[in-house]
Amino acid sequence: MIPDMSLTIEQIVEEAQLWPEDVVADLVDRLMLAKHGVHDPALSPAWRTTAARRVDEIRSGKVKGVPGEVVSARVREIVGR
């Protein structure tokens, strides 16, 4: 169940797109930690480097992103749901 929120997910994403990449990476790290309780400080610099590279690849058109709905459907296929 999702609690009543004053901002929609779309509003949060729109706002985050205006933030510097390192701030977004920090937010993602914090969300993953809050949700999954796992944090390996040694992975943080590697994650930021990889995330920045992937963002650059998508923005430049070198790589085409896969829509979340497509990824979710594929995951449901794999896990049989």
Question: For the chain (length 81 residues), average pLDDT per consecutive 10?
Answer: 75 91 84 76 77 90 89 88 67
For residue 22, is it within any domain?
A: yes
Q: What range defines the domain where residue 41 resides?
A: 9-79
Residue with tokens 């992103």: 65
Is the CB of residue 44 less than 8 Å from the CB of residue 29?
yes
Helix and strand numbers (H, E) in the chain are 4, 0
**Distance from C-alpha of 50 to C-alpha of 28, rounded to nearest angstrom:** 13
pTM for the full model? 0.43
For residue 4, is it within any domain?
A: no
Counted domains in the chain = 1
For residue 13, is it within any domain?
A: yes
**Distance from C-alpha of 27 to C-alpha of 21, rounded to nearest angstrom:** 10
